[in-house]
Amino acid sequence: MNRPIILGIVGDSAAGKTTLTRGIAQFLGPENVTVICTDDYHRYDRKQRAELGISALHPDCNYLDIMEQHLSLLRAGQPILKPIYNHKSGTFDAPEYVKPNQFVVVEGLLGYSTRSARDAYDVKVYLAPPEPLRTKWKIKRDTQKRGYTEDQVRAEMVKREPDSEQHIRPQRQWADLVVSFYPPTEQSEETNGHLNVRLVLRPNIPHPELTRVVSCDTAFTQSPIRLGLDRDMGKPVDVLEIDRHATGEQVQELEHFICGDIPNMLEACSRENNPELGKVTGTTGEMLQS
Protein backbone atom coordinates (compact mmCIF):
# COMPACT_ATOMS: atom_id res chain seq x y z
CA MET A 1 0.00 0.00 0.00
CA ASN A 2 1.80 3.09 -1.26
CA ARG A 3 -0.46 5.62 0.37
CA PRO A 4 -1.02 6.83 3.93
CA ILE A 5 -3.15 4.80 6.32
CA ILE A 6 -6.03 6.98 7.50
CA LEU A 7 -7.40 6.51 11.03
CA GLY A 8 -10.49 8.37 12.19
CA ILE A 9 -11.36 9.23 15.79
CA VAL A 10 -14.81 10.75 16.33
CA GLY A 11 -16.75 11.58 19.47
CA ASP A 12 -18.56 14.36 21.26
CA SER A 13 -16.74 17.33 22.76
CA ALA A 14 -14.29 16.27 25.51
CA ALA A 15 -14.79 12.55 24.81
CA GLY A 16 -11.01 11.99 24.86
CA LYS A 17 -10.24 12.31 21.14
CA THR A 18 -7.12 14.45 21.45
CA THR A 19 -5.67 12.38 24.29
CA LEU A 20 -6.19 9.12 22.37
CA THR A 21 -4.68 10.72 19.27
CA ARG A 22 -1.57 11.68 21.25
CA GLY A 23 -1.25 8.13 22.53
CA ILE A 24 -1.51 6.68 19.03
CA ALA A 25 1.05 9.16 17.69
CA GLN A 26 3.42 8.27 20.52
CA PHE A 27 3.02 4.56 19.80
CA LEU A 28 3.50 4.85 16.03
CA GLY A 29 6.22 7.51 16.36
CA PRO A 30 5.43 11.22 15.94
CA GLU A 31 7.67 11.36 12.89
CA ASN A 32 5.39 8.81 11.17
CA VAL A 33 2.06 10.48 12.00
CA THR A 34 0.19 13.48 10.63
CA VAL A 35 -2.61 14.68 12.92
CA ILE A 36 -5.62 16.53 11.54
CA CYS A 37 -8.31 18.07 13.76
CA THR A 38 -11.62 18.57 11.99
CA ASP A 39 -12.41 21.53 14.26
CA ASP A 40 -10.16 23.42 11.85
CA TYR A 41 -12.99 23.22 9.31
CA HIS A 42 -15.39 25.34 11.38
CA ARG A 43 -17.21 27.84 9.19
CA TYR A 44 -17.64 30.44 11.95
CA ASP A 45 -15.49 31.64 14.83
CA ARG A 46 -16.71 31.57 18.44
CA LYS A 47 -18.21 35.08 18.37
CA GLN A 48 -20.03 34.44 15.09
CA ARG A 49 -21.46 31.16 16.39
CA ALA A 50 -22.84 32.96 19.44
CA GLU A 51 -24.39 35.67 17.28
CA LEU A 52 -25.94 33.12 14.92
CA GLY A 53 -27.09 30.80 17.68
CA ILE A 54 -25.41 27.77 16.11
CA SER A 55 -23.09 25.26 17.74
CA ALA A 56 -19.87 23.81 16.36
CA LEU A 57 -21.54 20.38 16.45
CA HIS A 58 -23.96 21.29 13.66
CA PRO A 59 -22.92 20.35 10.10
CA ASP A 60 -23.98 23.79 8.84
CA CYS A 61 -21.30 25.30 11.10
CA ASN A 62 -18.54 23.43 9.27
CA TYR A 63 -17.03 23.33 5.79
CA LEU A 64 -17.63 19.61 5.36
CA ASP A 65 -17.04 19.86 1.61
CA ILE A 66 -13.51 21.15 2.17
CA MET A 67 -12.92 18.47 4.82
CA GLU A 68 -14.02 15.80 2.32
CA GLN A 69 -11.71 17.22 -0.34
CA HIS A 70 -8.76 17.28 2.05
CA LEU A 71 -9.40 13.71 3.25
CA SER A 72 -9.41 12.55 -0.36
CA LEU A 73 -6.13 14.35 -1.06
CA LEU A 74 -4.47 12.98 2.09
CA ARG A 75 -5.58 9.45 1.24
CA ALA A 76 -3.93 9.88 -2.16
CA GLY A 77 -0.73 11.04 -0.47
CA GLN A 78 -1.16 14.65 -1.56
CA PRO A 79 -0.52 17.77 0.60
CA ILE A 80 -3.24 20.17 1.70
CA LEU A 81 -3.45 23.80 2.78
CA LYS A 82 -5.38 23.33 6.02
CA PRO A 83 -7.22 26.04 7.98
CA ILE A 84 -6.46 26.36 11.70
CA TYR A 85 -9.06 27.02 14.38
CA ASN A 86 -7.54 28.41 17.58
CA HIS A 87 -9.45 26.95 20.54
CA LYS A 88 -7.89 29.37 23.00
CA SER A 89 -8.94 32.54 21.19
CA GLY A 90 -11.96 31.12 19.38
CA THR A 91 -10.71 32.59 16.09
CA PHE A 92 -8.79 31.37 13.06
CA ASP A 93 -5.03 31.44 12.55
CA ALA A 94 -3.23 31.44 9.21
CA PRO A 95 -3.62 28.16 7.27
CA GLU A 96 -0.77 25.66 7.24
CA TYR A 97 0.73 23.46 4.53
CA VAL A 98 0.40 19.81 5.58
CA LYS A 99 1.99 16.77 3.95
CA PRO A 100 0.73 13.32 4.96
CA ASN A 101 3.09 10.92 6.69
CA GLN A 102 2.77 7.14 6.74
CA PHE A 103 -0.19 7.43 9.12
CA VAL A 104 -2.81 10.18 9.20
CA VAL A 105 -4.98 10.46 12.32
CA VAL A 106 -8.10 12.57 11.81
CA GLU A 107 -9.91 13.49 15.04
CA GLY A 108 -12.98 15.61 15.60
CA LEU A 109 -16.72 15.94 15.87
CA LEU A 110 -18.10 15.25 12.40
CA GLY A 111 -15.52 13.05 10.70
CA TYR A 112 -18.04 10.34 9.71
CA SER A 113 -20.97 12.63 8.95
CA THR A 114 -20.88 12.15 5.16
CA ARG A 115 -20.42 9.11 2.92
CA SER A 116 -17.50 10.72 1.11
CA ALA A 117 -15.67 11.37 4.38
CA ARG A 118 -16.31 7.84 5.69
CA ASP A 119 -14.90 6.31 2.54
CA ALA A 120 -11.54 7.97 3.17
CA TYR A 121 -10.74 6.03 6.36
CA ASP A 122 -9.03 2.68 6.74
CA VAL A 123 -10.17 2.38 10.38
CA LYS A 124 -12.91 4.35 12.13
CA VAL A 125 -12.99 4.70 15.94
CA TYR A 126 -15.82 6.24 17.95
CA LEU A 127 -15.33 7.36 21.57
CA ALA A 128 -18.34 6.92 23.85
CA PRO A 129 -17.57 7.62 27.52
CA PRO A 130 -20.54 7.77 29.92
CA GLU A 131 -22.08 11.24 29.93
CA PRO A 132 -21.26 11.94 33.61
CA LEU A 133 -17.58 11.24 32.92
CA ARG A 134 -17.56 13.31 29.72
CA THR A 135 -19.16 16.18 31.64
CA LYS A 136 -16.35 16.10 34.21
CA TRP A 137 -13.73 16.00 31.47
CA LYS A 138 -15.33 18.92 29.62
CA ILE A 139 -15.64 21.08 32.73
CA LYS A 140 -12.01 20.42 33.63
CA ARG A 141 -10.73 21.15 30.12
CA ASP A 142 -12.84 24.19 29.31
CA THR A 143 -12.28 25.89 32.67
CA GLN A 144 -8.53 25.24 32.67
CA LYS A 145 -7.72 25.68 28.98
CA ARG A 146 -10.46 27.75 27.34
CA GLY A 147 -11.40 30.39 29.89
CA TYR A 148 -14.94 29.27 30.73
CA THR A 149 -16.58 29.03 34.15
CA GLU A 150 -18.17 25.76 35.25
CA ASP A 151 -21.65 27.29 34.96
CA GLN A 152 -20.90 28.40 31.40
CA VAL A 153 -19.69 24.92 30.45
CA ARG A 154 -22.78 23.24 31.88
CA ALA A 155 -25.10 25.73 30.17
CA GLU A 156 -23.34 25.22 26.85
CA MET A 157 -23.64 21.43 27.15
CA VAL A 158 -27.39 21.74 27.73
CA LYS A 159 -27.69 24.03 24.70
CA ARG A 160 -25.64 21.63 22.54
CA GLU A 161 -27.48 18.46 23.59
CA PRO A 162 -29.93 18.45 20.63
CA ASP A 163 -27.00 18.69 18.19
CA SER A 164 -25.13 15.94 20.04
CA GLU A 165 -28.15 13.67 19.79
CA GLN A 166 -28.90 14.47 16.16
CA HIS A 167 -25.45 14.83 14.60
CA ILE A 168 -22.69 13.35 16.80
CA ARG A 169 -23.97 10.14 18.40
CA PRO A 170 -25.47 8.67 15.19
CA GLN A 171 -21.92 8.49 13.78
CA ARG A 172 -21.30 5.60 16.17
CA GLN A 173 -23.03 3.31 13.67
CA TRP A 174 -20.22 3.81 11.15
CA ALA A 175 -17.35 2.98 13.52
CA ASP A 176 -15.24 -0.17 13.29
CA LEU A 177 -14.36 0.15 16.98
CA VAL A 178 -16.28 1.85 19.78
CA VAL A 179 -14.13 2.75 22.80
CA SER A 180 -15.74 3.51 26.16
CA PHE A 181 -13.60 4.42 29.16
CA TYR A 182 -15.61 4.32 32.39
CA PRO A 183 -14.93 4.49 36.13
CA PRO A 184 -15.12 1.32 38.26
CA THR A 185 -18.23 0.95 40.41
CA GLU A 186 -16.24 1.27 43.61
CA GLN A 187 -14.58 4.52 42.41
CA SER A 188 -17.31 6.35 40.55
CA GLU A 189 -15.50 9.70 40.91
CA GLU A 190 -12.38 8.49 39.08
CA THR A 191 -11.76 10.47 35.89
CA ASN A 192 -8.28 9.70 34.62
CA GLY A 193 -5.67 7.13 35.53
CA HIS A 194 -7.74 4.22 36.87
CA LEU A 195 -10.54 3.64 34.39
CA ASN A 196 -11.97 0.49 32.89
CA VAL A 197 -12.38 0.27 29.12
CA ARG A 198 -14.93 -1.45 26.92
CA LEU A 199 -14.05 -2.03 23.26
CA VAL A 200 -16.80 -2.87 20.78
CA LEU A 201 -15.21 -4.76 17.87
CA ARG A 202 -17.40 -4.70 14.78
CA PRO A 203 -16.77 -7.25 12.00
CA ASN A 204 -16.24 -4.46 9.44
CA ILE A 205 -12.47 -4.98 9.65
CA PRO A 206 -10.30 -7.98 10.65
CA HIS A 207 -9.50 -8.33 14.36
CA PRO A 208 -6.90 -10.57 16.06
CA GLU A 209 -8.14 -13.96 17.30
CA LEU A 210 -8.25 -12.81 20.92
CA THR A 211 -9.70 -16.05 22.30
CA ARG A 212 -6.15 -17.43 22.36
CA VAL A 213 -5.16 -15.07 25.18
CA VAL A 214 -8.41 -13.68 26.64
CA SER A 215 -11.07 -15.30 28.82
CA CYS A 216 -14.42 -15.55 27.05
CA ASP A 217 -18.01 -14.87 28.15
CA THR A 218 -18.30 -11.49 29.88
CA ALA A 219 -21.38 -12.58 31.81
CA PHE A 220 -19.71 -15.30 33.84
CA THR A 221 -15.98 -14.66 34.18
CA GLN A 222 -14.25 -12.53 36.79
CA SER A 223 -11.09 -12.16 34.72
CA PRO A 224 -9.95 -8.51 34.42
CA ILE A 225 -9.51 -9.01 30.66
CA ARG A 226 -12.37 -10.80 28.95
CA LEU A 227 -14.10 -11.23 25.61
CA GLY A 228 -17.79 -11.75 24.94
CA LEU A 229 -20.67 -11.26 22.54
CA ASP A 230 -23.16 -8.40 22.69
CA ARG A 231 -25.23 -6.15 20.45
CA ASP A 232 -24.40 -2.53 19.64
CA MET A 233 -26.98 -0.35 17.90
CA GLY A 234 -28.91 -3.55 17.19
CA LYS A 235 -26.03 -5.44 15.55
CA PRO A 236 -24.01 -8.39 16.93
CA VAL A 237 -20.48 -7.48 18.03
CA ASP A 238 -17.53 -8.81 19.98
CA VAL A 239 -16.77 -6.89 23.17
CA LEU A 240 -13.35 -6.75 24.83
CA GLU A 241 -13.41 -5.57 28.46
CA ILE A 242 -10.26 -4.51 30.32
CA ASP A 243 -10.64 -3.63 33.99
CA ARG A 244 -8.40 -1.18 35.81
CA HIS A 245 -7.09 -3.92 38.11
CA ALA A 246 -5.60 -5.96 35.26
CA THR A 247 -1.95 -6.60 36.08
CA GLY A 248 0.91 -5.23 34.03
CA GLU A 249 1.81 -8.76 32.98
CA GLN A 250 -1.73 -9.46 31.75
CA VAL A 251 -1.86 -6.23 29.76
CA GLN A 252 1.59 -6.80 28.25
CA GLU A 253 0.63 -10.32 27.18
CA LEU A 254 -2.38 -8.90 25.35
CA GLU A 255 -0.30 -6.08 23.83
CA HIS A 256 2.36 -8.49 22.57
CA PHE A 257 -0.24 -10.83 21.10
CA ILE A 258 -1.97 -8.02 19.21
CA CYS A 259 1.29 -6.44 18.06
CA GLY A 260 2.64 -9.83 16.99
CA ASP A 261 -0.25 -10.03 14.54
CA ILE A 262 0.91 -6.83 12.82
CA PRO A 263 4.07 -6.81 10.66
CA ASN A 264 7.04 -4.94 12.21
CA MET A 265 4.98 -3.88 15.23
CA LEU A 266 6.19 -6.25 17.96
CA GLU A 267 9.33 -4.21 18.69
CA ALA A 268 7.25 -1.05 19.01
CA CYS A 269 5.11 -2.79 21.65
CA SER A 270 8.12 -3.61 23.81
CA ARG A 271 8.22 -1.58 27.02
CA GLU A 272 11.84 -2.70 27.38
CA ASN A 273 12.71 -0.86 24.15
CA ASN A 274 10.30 2.00 24.83
CA PRO A 275 9.86 2.62 28.58
CA GLU A 276 7.65 5.66 27.87
CA LEU A 277 5.13 3.54 25.98
CA GLY A 278 1.63 4.13 27.29
CA LYS A 279 2.47 7.37 29.10
CA VAL A 280 0.39 10.17 27.61
CA THR A 281 -0.11 13.77 28.71
CA GLY A 282 -3.82 14.56 28.86
CA THR A 283 -5.38 17.73 27.48
CA THR A 284 -5.28 19.41 30.88
CA GLY A 285 -1.70 18.36 31.61
CA GLU A 286 -2.24 15.23 33.71
CA MET A 287 0.01 12.22 33.07
CA LEU A 288 -1.93 9.14 32.01
CA GLN A 289 -0.49 5.61 32.06
CA SER A 290 -2.00 2.64 30.26
3-state helix, strand, coil in the chain (%, to 5): 35, 25, 40
How far apart are alpha carbons 186 and 191 in whole angstroms?
A: 13
How far apart are alpha carbons 134 and 137 in whole angstroms?
A: 5
pLDDT of residue 275: 59
pLDDT of residue 183: 92
DSSP string, 216-246: E-TTT---SEEEEEEEETTEEEEEEEE-TT-
pTM, rounded to two decimals? 0.89
pLDDT of residue 208: 83
pLDDT of residue 35: 98
Q: Which of 66, 58, 62, 67 has the alpha carbon at shortest distance from 42?
A: 62
How far apart are alpha carbons 142 and 284 in whole angstroms?
A: 9
Q: pLDDT tens string for the chain (290 positions)?
A: 589 999 999 999 999 999 999 999 998 999 999 999 999 999 999 999 999 999 999 999 999 999 999 999 999 999 999 999 999 999 999 999 999 999 999 999 999 999 999 999 999 999 999 999 999 999 999 999 888 999 999 999 999 999 999 999 999 999 999 999 999 887 777 666 689 999 999 999 988 888 877 877 655 567 889 999 999 999 999 999 999 888 888 888 888 888 776 665 656 666 566 656 555 565 655 555 54
Name the region of 227 (left: φ>0; alpha: ψ -120 to 50; beta: rest).
beta
pLDDT of residue 288: 55
All domains in the chain, ordered by first residue: 1-128 (3.40.50.300), 176-285 (no CATH)
